Chain A
């Protein structure tokens, strides 16, 4: 890493030096102390000067410049100030370059020139060095942008030396040079463009075409290498070389048209290739780049049309016409600057690029209107401004969404998901990892979402936003109690969630997404911790109540039982005490397995029956073991206890049979005795039967007594305990047919 930083320093210094040299050259170039404006007829109008003897000429147009030793130059305003890169016709461009050269020859430091204005006004002016102050803010801004692009290009190639980054560096360097040239163009004054001799236009076209070739080549390689990459890349580089050579060495006829055609066709090709690439691999980068390309190519097409039609436009909008390509250049350069950081969501840069893009579009469209409807200058500029701002304000969000891609989940939905998953994680901690995966799937809708072992403290994204690594907020309890059938000792615990290709491959993960994921993880952790704390508090509270009940009331009931005046009272208190114990145990433990409960019932009943000389026949079957909640456990415990109490106290039976069977979530209890039951209808209500009925009803079940033959009573209780996990597969034949 060290050598890269060391290398970056001289590169930055060199680039800065280039800018300084450029500024110095321009500052020392001779210039007339005057400000000009293009008027409606394409003449240069004097609008400001510091020289007192030129004041009378204010508002008049410059017609001719005379210098000793050269032929007088008849000034064509359009050709004096602007770069000839964006001039459609060969003759115009050639004439412009010629005039720039001639003007540069005439303006020599210390050699006075005579300026001839309309209405026969003359002024004698001595050109002198311009100075840094008059270079203008636009010059410095464009230089700054060019410098930034140059440095980003250098950084990209220094970070990793591969063909992709090399191509990006080529594009960046070309466009940085383009920006510097545009900066020179933006300096007010005459003859600036003569710095490069007559080749300025050809050079700038060559830079654009080389950029196009590099862009096409990069598209062929990334995000997905496309099959015809060798042929197409070679072709594009060949075209770029041939064009550059032809434009620089010979004056290629219709060079501007060739250049625009090459640029536009490359753009269309890139759009097509990105679409193809997305169909092969749905990498979101392809989608995002495709959207950007469409905007860029569309605006370039508009700019081309505007420039081609500039002849038909009135003189007063000519300065605007010349500004459109500059804005487009800035737009393209800022896109290029942004593309390595697409996922890092550089707000400033994004807004800037959008503003430049929208301005290009709005100004171009506006100028087309001017060409068609012949507005005047003021109207056109105002309209242009309003249209640009209006379009920007209206389409900002939409464009942002289109460029970067919108998040599909609203805040409200996100909140719901979060709460739901927090609850699920709490309910089924062993599946915590799955629930969290589901949550992130719902939030980002990635094409790929899976667990992986590994560790990350915070969310990280990789491959420039194609993927996101999220830490697990709540890790499933290790060794979750149920050993699996196969030996999974080799598989490490999942600790990470890997998401790839957000929004079904239409969007890149941004730094905001990473922050959002971190927030979600944090909130989930907090929610689960909160739930656990509440649950713990509740169970502590219940435990304390149970303890108090047991210690205080229990001890008193016990004393009362020992001091009972007769056995009936003693039994009554004993039952109360047992009910209290059931109650407190239910409070202390929240769930009981049915199989465990059944074992305890059985042992308890056997113990109670044995001193009475009554034998017990017990059977218990269940299709699946379920967990009873507190209500079910204590309800069933007390129902059974009452039924057995009745057998002991009233039936005088010698044999009792209890069958318990759980099938499809319904527990059927059959309690039979051979005692002196008689007709159940004749029983008095004081036998605790009311209590049993009430409890069965509370559990949503049914109870029925009937006289048993030859003797005794049979009681059938049926209580639904759980919804069957799967509906019974055997339905009645009629139902399946009908």
Chain B
């Protein structure tokens, strides 16, 4: 059976180019559905069984989403496809964390930069599908800040408990996080803390190395672990970000009386 791929991209040249990248990346038979705007993408997804991706229908296995579209932002579609069982990848020209971080929060499994060389894109795409998503230093830094803020709002205990067991080898990671966990006076809790997932010390360590520009291989060497273990950490971080942002969204919605 052919693997169904949705490419949402308003630039025809880019659409065609990304199609070539997808075909080059996988040996399976590929069926590519192209969409130029959000509306046609939604239609394509409805035909394929709806945004929830129910079992028994024929869903897309891979979705490439551009952020800037004529009738809105690709983030909207990503938000709708949170539960969709496909690998969702953001293809964009914006490589900065300002644009990419919200996309990752919306459940994207990775991102591709459209101006990269063909060969590089093929490699990156294969990696994402294999479960080796990219994480730029800027986004790693952003993630550290994100989870540290979460930690401040009520997850001192969990970090502390896990932190006692694990020996933290990365000096930067240990200093920032133990400082938060042990030394900082706990802030006055105005509202009950969100039950958000916290990062393990290892994940924090990986993120810290990533934020300093180290590659996966270098980090594996520095931490004396296998490179795919590093990848597992990164995948876990992706997942936790998704979960935490979903929990935040739920709390926000309940606060506004939407739920």
The interface of chain A, by Cβ under 8 A from chain B, is: 483, 487, 489, 550-551, 554-555, 558-559, 561-563, 574, 577-578, 581, 585, 588, 595-596, 598-603, 606-607, 610-611, 618, 620
Which B residues are CB-close (under 8 A) to A489? 185
Q: Kindly identify which residue among B11, B17, B95, B213 contacts A599, using a CB–CB cutoff of 8 Å.
A: B213
Which A residues are CB-close (under 8 A) to B213? 598-603, 606, 618, 620
Closest Cβ of chain A: how far from B91's Cβ, in Å? 11
Given contacts A599-B212, A611-B120, contact A558 B96 (CB under 8 A): no
B141 is an interface residue with CB less than 8 A from chain A? yes
Which B residues are CB-close (under 8 A) to A620? 213
Given contacts A489-B185, A551-B68, A578-B115, contact A596 B13 (CB under 8 A): no
User: B61-88 interface mask toward A, CB cutoff 8 Å, 1 = contact, 0 = none?
Assistant: 0000000100000000000000000000
Are A558 and B93 touching (Cβ within 8 A)? yes
Are A554 and B93 touching (Cβ within 8 A)? yes
Closest Cβ of chain B: how far from A675's Cβ, in Å? 20
Which A residues are CB-close (under 8 A) to B17? 562
Are A581 and B14 touching (Cβ within 8 A)? no
Are A555 and B11 touching (Cβ within 8 A)? yes
Are A577 and B185 touching (Cβ within 8 A)? no
Nearest-neighbor residue (CB-CB) of A487 within chain B: B185
Are A596 and B115 touching (Cβ within 8 A)? no
Which A residues are CB-close (under 8 A) to B214? 602
B211 is an interface residue with CB less than 8 A from chain A? yes
Given contacts A581-B95, A596-B138, A603-B137, contact A558 B215 (CB under 8 A): no
B123 is an interface residue with CB less than 8 A from chain A? yes
Which A residues are CB-close (under 8 A) to B114? 558
CA distance A310 to B123 in the complex (A): 117
Q: Kindly identify which residue among A574, A585, A611 contacts B115, using a CB–CB cutoff of 8 Å.
A: A574
User: Considering the complex of A and B, which 3 residue pairs feature the smallest CB-CB distances, nearest first?
Assistant: A602-B213, A599-B213, A599-B137
Closest Cβ of chain A: how far from B189's Cβ, in Å? 15
Which B residues are CB-close (under 8 A) to A610? 215
Q: Kindly identify which residue among A483, A558, A562, A602 contacts B16, using a CB–CB cutoff of 8 Å.
A: A562
Are B68 and A585 touching (Cβ within 8 A)? no
CA distance A598 to B138 in the complex (A): 11
Which B residues are CB-close (under 8 A) to A562? 13-14, 16-17
Nearest-neighbor residue (CB-CB) of B93 within chain A: A554
B119 is an interface residue with CB less than 8 A from chain A? yes
Which A residues are CB-close (under 8 A) to B96? 585, 588
Are B14 and A558 touching (Cβ within 8 A)? yes
30 A-B contacts (beta carbon < 8 Å): A483-B184, A487-B185, A489-B185, A558-B13, A558-B115, A559-B11, A562-B14, A562-B17, A577-B93, A577-B115, A581-B93, A585-B96, A595-B212, A596-B137, A599-B137, A599-B141, A599-B211, A599-B213, A600-B136, A600-B138, A600-B213, A602-B137, A602-B212, A602-B213, A603-B213, A606-B213, A611-B119, A611-B120, A618-B213, A620-B213
CA distance A668 to B100 in the complex (A): 32
Q: Kindly identify which residue among A563, A598, A603 contacts B13, using a CB–CB cutoff of 8 Å.
A: A563
Q: A550-B94, A577-B93, A599-B137 are in contact. List 4 more A-B contacts (CB 8 A).
A: A550-B93, A562-B13, A596-B141, A599-B141
Closest Cβ of chain A: how far from B72's Cβ, in Å? 14
Are B117 and A611 touching (Cβ within 8 A)? yes
Which A residues are CB-close (under 8 A) to B11? 555, 558-559
Nearest-neighbor residue (CB-CB) of B94 within chain A: A550
CA distance A123 to B240 in the complex (A): 122
Point out which of B68, B115, B119 has the most chain A C-beta atoms below 10 A from its C-beta: B115
CA distance A554 to B13 in the complex (A): 13
Which A residues are CB-close (under 8 A) to B212? 595, 599, 602
CA distance A581 to B93 in the complex (A): 8
Point out which of B13, B120, B137 has the most chain A C-beta atoms below 10 A from its C-beta: B137
Which B residues are CB-close (under 8 A) to A559? 11, 13-14
Closest Cβ of chain B: how far from A539's Cβ, in Å? 13
Which B residues are CB-close (under 8 A) to A585? 96
Are A611 and B138 touching (Cβ within 8 A)? no
Are A611 and B123 touching (Cβ within 8 A)? yes
CA distance A487 to B211 in the complex (A): 29
CA distance A483 to B183 in the complex (A): 11
Closest Cβ of chain A: how far from B126's Cβ, in Å? 13
CA distance A603 to B217 in the complex (A): 12
Which A residues are CB-close (under 8 A) to B215? 603, 606, 610
CA distance A602 to B214 in the complex (A): 7
Point out which of A487, A603, A618 has the most chain B C-beta atoms below 10 A from its C-beta: A603
Closest Cβ of chain A: how far from B100's Cβ, in Å? 13
Closest Cβ of chain A: how far from B136's Cβ, in Å? 6
CA distance A487 to B137 in the complex (A): 32
